[in-house]
Amino acid sequence: MSAPKIQHFILVFDRHAGHLLDQLDFGTNAKKALGKYEELEREHRENAFMDIVLVGSDSIDTVKITHANYFDGSAKDMYAEVLRISAG
């Protein structure tokens, strides 16, 4: 039995708004995923509140577990606490 092929996903998360703006699926095309990742990083480089995350996994369901904070709203709370502590 062969191992599942790695799927590539990009998550675009706005920490200020506290929600996922986009979830892109590139299947097994790592080159296309990396190109889009670089494009999005350039596009948002001036916005410190944007997370552009390129993830390799067996499925989006696994990504929703391993990167749950981007899907369940907990990232907003985490970043608010970091800002509160750093301002203090």
Reported as a single tens digit per residue, the pLDDT across 25-61 is: 999 999 999 999 999 999 999 998 899 999 999 999 9
Does the residue 2 lie in any domain? no
Number of domains in the chain: 1
Q: How far apart are the C-alpha atoms of 23 and 87, rounded to whole Å?
A: 31
Q: Is residue 1 part of a domain?
A: no
Beta bridge partners of 56: 8
Q: How confident is the model at residue 88 (pLDDT cuts 50, 70, 90)?
A: low
Is the pLDDT assigned to residue 21 strictly greater than 90? Answer: yes
Which of these, 66, 52, 55, 61, lies nearest to 20 by C-alpha position? 52
pTM for this prediction: 0.81
For residue 31, the enclosing domain spans 7-87
